[in-house]
Amino acid sequence: MNSPMIAKTALALALGIAAGSAAASTNLIVNGSFEDLSANPGVQQLANNTWQVFNSIPGWTTFSGAGIEVRRNVAGVAQDGVQFVELDSHGTNPNSTMQQVLSSTVSGQRYTLSFWYSPRPNTSTLPANTNNISVSWNGSALLPTLGGTNNTGTHHWQQYSYTVVGTGADTLRFAAFGAQDTYGGSLDNVSVTAVPEPETFAMMLAGLGLMGAVARRRKAA
């Protein structure tokens, strides 16, 4: 194979790798940082230092409980953007569950679920389970209970990441449980992205090898 042909092949592999990487990095979650409230008439985004409980917001619906409590600079600040969610919401049956159904997953494809969690600030004198949140994928719990208390006036955001498998129609749920006292843990910056398959890495190595061959030939010439 001559150098121009090798260069074209390497370029094609590089473009394929770039396309695969872009697909892998696409977040399938709608409104993962809870910045968009446009589905609720007259509410695009909360005013500063306010909160409100919603039955649904773009991408998310209430599965059970009082609703989805969105906060803006109340009892902490967001990890991403300006708004975050608490699920020990004000109203009847405060402990709430919210869900999002993902219809764009591929059956058998592995995905990385990532989100940020923090116990609510100034909760050290409350019951130990006041900030409890569970996470499930298609009804299966993904991790031990998120919880604990926070004796400071700020969030202690921590990222959690897990590998899940798509079915083509997947349900992600976050649920508050424990003490129903309207003082719950905080969630923000939720994402679901495809895990690159081994073939992608093989293409990358092949492309790098071909590009190296082109460089060596040009140097020798």
101 within some domain:
yes
pTM, full prediction: 0.80
CB atoms within 10 A of CB 22: 9
CA–CA dist 169, 128 (Å, integer): 35
Report the distance separating Cα 63 and Cα 171, nearest Å. Answer: 11
For residue 178, the SS3 value is coil
Q: What is the pLDDT of residue 23?
A: 53
The CATH number of residue 167's host domain is: 2.60.120.260
pLDDT at residue 3 tops 70: no
Residue 14 domain-assigned (yes or no):
no
Note whether residue 136 is domain-resident. Answer: yes
In a domain, 141, yes or no: yes
Judge whether 5 lies within some domain: no
In a domain, 16, yes or no: no
pLDDT by residue (tens digit) across 175-205?
999 899 999 999 999 999 999 987 554 444 4
Give the range of the structural domain holding residue 55, as residue numbers without chain letter. 28-195
pLDDT tens readout for residues 98-132: 999 999 999 999 999 999 999 999 999 999 999 99
Span 69-82, average pLDDT: 97
Query: Which H/E stretch holds residue 28?
Result: none
Please report whether residue 15 resides in a domain: no
* Domain total in the chain: 1
